[in-house]
Amino acid sequence: MTENERKVIEYVKEVSASQLLQDLSGGKVVGTDLRAIGKLRLYRLPDEVKNVLLYCVKCKMSKQIDYKDVYKIAARWNRLRVQTAEEAFKLAKQEGCFQEQK
């Protein structure tokens, strides 16, 4: 794991989901994002895992997040019993989430 990856993991462990989206979108969080964060609670994932999911999807998409994909991933991660940011980050990398980043 690289130093940048460690920093991302520490960051997602400390920040709230709404603050994460605000930081990643340049300070703009719309109502759709807030409703989606609320709906993610239904999947009973730990906050740090939800944050990795949001970080992954936001990094992969340049504009608006497609929350249908987020919910599919959340359901899969719930079935896989992902419990930590480290597990989520590793799984996201395996699924090709961060391929577009350098």
Span 44-91, pLDDT tens digits: 999 999 999 999 888 777 666 788 889 999 999 999 999 999 999 999
Distance CA 27, CA 4 (A): 22
36 CB neighbour count, 10 Å cutoff: 18
pLDDT of residue 99: 55
Average of pLDDT values for 12-27? 92
The residues, any chain, with a CB within 8 Å of residue 59's CB and separated by 6 or more, are 24, 97, 98, 100, 101
Mean pLDDT score of the chain, rounded to an integer? 88
Reported pTM: 0.88
Map out the domains of the chain as residue ranges: 3-94
Exposed (0-12), middle (13-18) or buried (19+): which is 9, by Cβ within 10 Å?
Answer: buried
Distance CA 101, CA 49 (A): 20
Question: pLDDT-based confidence at 98, cuts 50/70/90?
Answer: low
pLDDT of residue 102: 36
Q: Is the pLDDT of residue 100 over 80?
A: no
pLDDT of residue 46: 97
